[in-house]
Amino acid sequence: MTAGPATGAPAVEAIDVTRVYSLEGVEVQALRGVSIRIDEGEYVAVVGPSGSGKSTLMHLLGCLDRPTSGVLRIGGREVAELSGNELAALRNSRVGFVFQSFQLLARTTAVDNVALPLVYGGVGRKERRERAVQALTAVGLAHRLGHRPAQMSGGEQQRVAIARALVTDPQVLLADEPTGNLDSRSGGEVMAILERLNAERQVAVVLVTHDHEIAERARRQVYFRDGLIERDTGAA
């Protein structure tokens, strides 16, 4: 079990957010007026069936998309007011991503995979390596710095992905089915790492999962259905 929010400051906040897609001339309402606040240091599981809107919400919280209407703030900044470059800079500095499929560069070493977000952030080569080594050490992979993905197990690859997500010191870490491609032992190790980093660093963790056992490990569960929040265990 992890610590609660550190200061109560919102890492991300959505107010009456909608997202409508047009598919072959037909409008699809992926989100139909969602309000959610995730504070610094929270550990939240987002749960729901396919098509419920949870992945759309993750894309919005990660600055990969913009809402059709409503207010979305990341680190106190309103997304609608930002240019494309500003949005990309905010995403790179404030948000870390962990995906089910790892999304590592196959021909690149672990340390260089982890350093990649710092390249986009304009960090110098020496500092990039130092910070990447620190991040890999934090997830127990100091002995794998020069290894490429094919030389590592699935669990190790996901730990590299976690290190990459944390190397920019983000406010929020978005994890989309992070144990989906792992066996139960490796999955348990990855979850333990996420929980430890959440407790020690007070980075907010937002975890999308179909696995109710994994969801129950979080302090707060948010259940989605038909583009709406059906239930939020953290609601007042």
Integer CA distances (angstroms), 178 to 55, 78, 168, 184, in order: 13, 28, 19, 12
Token pair for residue 15?
């107010």
The amino acid at 72: L
**In this predicted structure, what is the pLDDT of residue 9?**
63
pLDDT in tens, 125-180: 999 999 999 999 999 999 999 999 999 999 999 999 999 999 999 999 999 999 98
Other C-beta atoms lying within 10 Å of the C-beta of residue 153? 12
| Beta-strand relationship, 43-47 and 26-39 | unpaired
The answer to whether the CB of 191 falls within 8 A of the CB of 1 is no
Low-confidence stretches of the chain (pLDDT < 70) are 1-9, 236
User: CA 78, CA 177: separation in Å to the nearest integer?
Assistant: 27
Report the run of H or E that residue 70 belongs to, with start and end.
Answer: strand 69-74
Q: Distance (Å, rounded) from C-alpha 207 to C-alpha 193?
A: 13
Thinking of the domain 10-232, which architecture would CATH place it in?
3-Layer(aba) Sandwich (3.40)
pLDDT at 7: 47
Domain residue ranges in the chain: 10-232
Backbone angles phi, psi at 115, to 5 degrees: -75, -15
Dist CA 15 CA 38 (whole Å): 12
The reported pLDDT for the residue numbered 23 is: 84
The residue length of the chain stands at 236
| Cα(59)–Cα(63) distance, integer angstroms | 6
Using alpha carbons only, give the angle 88, 191, 131 rounded to the nearest 5 degrees: 50
The pLDDT value given to residue 198: 94
The enclosing H or E element of 222 equals strand 220-225
> What Cα–Cα distance (Å) separates residue 17 from each residue in 96, 110, 131, 214, 232?
22, 37, 36, 27, 16
pLDDT value, residue 236:
62
